[in-house]
């Protein structure tokens, strides 16, 4: 279309029984969904481990944004003061197999 480049990306969901989706619950009553291997989930997760998982998700979002693939980093930074102060308190298995 002239000088415009249009990128298409297909999202394919595949189920893998060795990955699970969890919901992290924070001390401000907010939540975040993420995924991890079922073996790690079966061992249990501490609040410190939950925080590491959440930080890894944020790092991935920033990396994808740098590549032009992810969410708008400006939205992430705009909400950073609230995101930085919340602490994981617990989690639950959403009983969803991910891929």
Which tens digit of pLDDT belongs to each residue from 29-50? Answer: 989 888 888 898 889 999 999 9
Quick one: pLDDT at residue 99? 47
Among 19-23, 30-34, 64-68, 83-87, the least confident range = 64-68
Delimit the domains of the chain by residue range: 16-98
Among 3-7, 15-19, 32-36, 39-43, the least confident range = 3-7
Question: Buried b vs exposed e over 61-85: b needs ≥16 C-beta within 10 Å?
Answer: beeebeeeeeeeeeeeeeeeeebee
The pTM assigned to this predicted structure is 0.69
Quick one: pLDDT at residue 63? 77
């Amino acid at each position: 279309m002239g000088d415009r480049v249009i990128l298409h990306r297909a999202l394919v969901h595949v189920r893998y029984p060795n990955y699970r989706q969890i919901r992290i619950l924070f001390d401000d009553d907010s939540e975040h969904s993420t995924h991890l291997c079922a073996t790690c989930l079966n061992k249990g997760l501490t609040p410190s481990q939950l925080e590491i998982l959440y930080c890894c998700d944020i790092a991935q979002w920033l990396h994808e944004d740098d590549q032009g693939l992810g969410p708008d980093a400006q939205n992430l930074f705009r909400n950073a003061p609230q995101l930085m102060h919340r602490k994981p308190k617990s989690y639950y298995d959403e009983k969803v197999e991910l891929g």
